[in-house]
Structure 1
Amino acid sequence: AIDYEDPLDIPRRWAGERKFQVGVHILRGLTDADAAAPVLTAIADAVIGALLPRVLDEFAQAHGRMPGGRIAILAQGRLGSREMSIDSDLDLVVVYDASGEAGSDGSRPLGPSHYYARLAQRFISAISALTGEGRLYEIDTRLRPSGSSGPVASHLDAFRRYHREDAWTWEHMALTRARVVAASDDSLTQDLNQVVREVLLTPRDADRVVVEVADMRRRIAQEHGTEDCWQVKHVRGGLVDLEFLAQQLQLIHGPDMPGLLLGDTALVLARAGELGLIEDGAMLADAVRLQRRMLGLLRLTVTGRFDGRTAPPGLIAALARAARLDEGADAEAIGDVLRSCQARVHAHFDRYVTDVAARVKAEGAADAGADPKTAMETKR
């Protein structure tokens, strides 16, 4: 590498080529978007792991190293649960650990909080900045403690304290998909993973969790609601319903059944069915996989909304394969498969979330707490 921009461009070229290969394999029917998710996740893991030490070295040229300091990148969202699609952004939280207030050892020393805040910004820019080779990924850091109003990098102790004392239910839902994807020291990987596990193993009021999950789902429906079966993320019975159901199950039953803490939505729902926590777990897991195949394919090929009346025959054939239909099936037949699947999922979501929340509210059996929307808007 000749200069700092070179180490930024090399992973951009490599990741772009790998993602292009995955996209071609999906379009040719050699794989599907659901099966490709772990590969796309591995690509993101690889470039994050390669960039972190590069950024650390470049930053140290001006500000030195933090004696005894450690930094880790915690992934949430689809990267954390290994469910990435071609266009997924990255939900990242930067966590560091440094003892005392001693500054870094460089020519322009910084105290720990300023050091890691600037280092976190430099790392985020290394991934999201637009260079001659494009942008690696869009990054969303709003899941960090206190959201957009909080520090860019969180001290490990502050992260632990926040999730023990102040975090909202939706933030703990996000933690069900969390994992460390890069760190300057393996010990911090272990420590941070342990914090996440401790939070998820903490017993909580099941009724309150259900009420807040139902309220959050209602608010999302108000903002992004659709009856279009091809909008598989936000349509009722779509991926948001399935993800919320899986996350609710993990928060309520994880403390007693740690084997449920699997991250991947389909695996969680299948395991919940095996454990007798929910009926038709295998069907729900298949619904996740079907709609992930559809989501990945549509995001790869369509800008805006899908219209089966104007879609090219090749795309219809690919969607038919994703729906496990004969390639001669038309858009209406594929849509029927989606609508049937979504109706079954919606019925289960109502049974285990919406109806339970309504009963709890009616009985006054649980205090739903402060308005989750207020918290989410504050963090943005």
Structure 2
Amino acid sequence: MLSLLADILGSAPALGDTLSNDPALLDGVLEADFFLILPSKEELENIVADRLRYTHDYEQKMVFLRIFNNEKRFQAGVHLLKRLASPKRIGAFLSDVAEVILQSTMQEVWAEYTNKTSGAQILSTTPFAVLALGKLGGREMTFGSDLDIVFLYDDAGDSASEVRTHMARIAQRLVSAITLLSREGRLYEVDTRLRPGGSDGPLATSLTAFDAYFSSTAWTYEFMALSRARVVATNSPDFATRVAEIISTHIAKPRDADKLLTDMLDMRTRIAQQFPTQNPWALKHVRGGMVDLDFIAQTLLLRHAAQHPDIIKRSARGVFEVAQTHRLLSLDDAETLIAAKKFLSDLMSLQRLSAPGGAITDDAPMGLKRLLVRGMRTKTFSALKTALEHHEANVRTMFEKMRVGAL
């Protein structure tokens, strides 16, 4: 126990902050299965369902969900710290936890609202879904990831106006439940700006309006974001299927390749202006970092999805693999991009665990450096930085090839 505590405080400040906010998390270390294989999504669902079944007060249910979330994220952090699970497995596990939390929170908010709101009985037959984009959409969550989500509902029927009013209220209550800061902390930070219309659009969007928006109004960047979208919580599996079909239809549309490239480059320039950095450890925004990798993958996907629908993958690696299969990428280029994606993703997962802000500098504390060196299986911090700069230079080369039409 003391050794683990020393590792956390010396190497993983972000995990240490979590522990200082809730010292009771250490109790979980004493459980027999804490250091075993991380539970599957089905096991997580069963744990939550069993507990909520015997808890009847709404506020107590939400307290349990926040505690459960803290416990599982702490367990994942320790597994990463101790190299008991790969960064990729940690990303999938954190995504599973988020999905279970969102499904349960949606159900509890829905039940609380319909039970206490006059006229809400109409919602008993109204399909609703939470659409995830970004890190959760791609099942690549890291410590501190927020949730990029969109709320969708079915407005079919004679009471569309009444349903719209209720949906707006439920969506707002759901956001409040997820982001409420309590003694146990909050579940997640939430970003809903990727919904149709952005911050000016309704918080909950009808599927009809969603479909119409992407048929006529959406920008290229919004299609790029949509390429990672998937339903993570719903009260209707059939509605989730309809949502997925509509998304696939919009992603697979034929596109003007020149306009797609121009729009992508314009968005990349804007991001560089908003988040300027030359720090190689700023893995997301530095040139050659995660934004460039994701933009290359999303541009390839949108450019070729009409002819090669199997390229529609939510992970950049999946896109690169299929692109190489269809000879849209050379074998060398695909291997270069896949290697860079794995390296940067693994390093980002470790950085988010070790540094609350995510990015570090060359003069980071020695304990943090040791964590990164050990986690990335390099001999020294200098060797790690050399490898990082190598991969970022490769990504910059690939991005430039795309810019001039050679990729």
By the TM > 0.5 criterion, same fold? yes
CA contact (8 A) 2:152 2:205 kept: yes
Q: Could you say which residue in structure 2 is the equivalent of 1:366? A: none
In structure 2, what residue type is equivalent to 1:32?
S
Structure-2 residue corresponding to 1:290 = 343
Alignment of 1:213 with 2:264, yes or no, is yes
Is the 8 Å Cα contact of residues 279 and 361 (structure 2) preserved in structure 1?
A: no
* Number of residue pairs matched by the alignment: 346
Which residue of 2 is the match for residue 230 of structure 1?
281
Q: Which has the higher helix share?
A: 2
> Following the alignment from structure 1 to structure 2, what is the Cα–Cα distance between the partners of residues 316 and 287?
20
Q: Which residue of 1 aligns with 2:362?
A: 308
> 1:251: Cα distance to partner?
0.6
2:49 match: none
> Is this contact kept in 2: 1:274–1:281, CA < 8 A?
no
Identify the residue that residue 344 of structure 1 maps to in structure 2: 394
Unmatched segments (≥5 aa) in structure 2:
1-54
Deviations 1:173-201 (A, max 9, x none): 00100000111111110110111011011
Do the aligned residues in 2 keep the contact of 1:101 with 1:112 (CA within 8 Å)?
no
Q: 2:178 is aligned with what amino acid?
A: I
Change (3 A) 1:98 1:201: same
Q: How big is the shift at 1:100?
A: 3.5
From 221, 230, 236, the equivalent of 1:170 is: 221
Whole-angstrom CA distance in 2 between matches of 1:187 and 1:271: 29
- How much does 1:270 deviate? 2.5
Residue 160 of structure 1 aligns with which residue? 211
Amino acid at match of 1:332: S
SS at match of 1:95: strand
Mapped to 2, the partners of 1:169 and 1:47 lie a distance apart of: 31
Q: Identity, % of aligned pairs?
A: 37
Amino acid at match of 1:73: V
Q: Structure 1 counterpart of 2:175, which letter?
A: I
Q: Which of the residues 82, 85, 95 maps onto 2:152? A: 95
* Partners of 1:249 and 1:292 in 2: CA distance: 19
Q: After superposition, what is the alpha-carbon deviation per residue over 1:196-239, rounded to whole angstroms, capped at 9, x for unaligned?
A: 01101111111100111011111111111211111111111110
Q: 2:85 aligns with which of 31, 38, 45?
A: 31
How far has the Cα of 1:2 moved from its partner? 4.4
Are the equivalent residues in 2 in contact too, given 1:93–1:143 (CA < 8 A)? Answer: yes
Q: Within the alignment, does 1:249 sit opposite 2:300 as a pair?
A: yes
- In the alignment, the residues of structure 1 paired with residue 393 and residue 71 of structure 2 have an alpha-carbon distance, to the nearest angstrom, of 38
1:368 corresponds in structure 2 to none
| Uncovered stretches (5+) of structure 1, i.e. residues with no partner | 104-109, 358-380
Matched to 2:135, the amino acid is R
Q: 1:131-157 CA distances to partner (integer Å, 9 max, x unpaired)?
A: 222100000000000000000100110
- 2:129 and 2:233 in contact (8 A); partners too: yes
* Cα deviation, residue 332, structure 1: 2.0
Residue 299 of structure 1 aligns with an amino acid whose one-letter code is R
User: What is aligned with 1:318?
Assistant: 371
Within the alignment, does 1:204 sit opposite 2:261 as a pair?
Answer: no
- Is the contact made by 2:317 and 2:338 (CA closer than 8 Å) also made in structure 1? yes
Query: In structure 2, do the counterparts of structure 1 residues 291 and 212 end up closer, same or farther at CA, with 3 Å as the change threshold?
Result: same
- 3-state DSSP of counterpart to 2:405: helix
**RMSD, aligned CA:** 1.6
| Residue of structure 2 in register with 1:47 after alignment | 101
**Which letter maps to 2:171?**
A
Scaled by the length of structure 1, the TM-score of the pair is: 0.87
Q: Confirm or deny: 8 A CA contact 2:155 2:208 kept in the other structure.
A: no
Write the letter of the residue equivalent to 2:273: Q
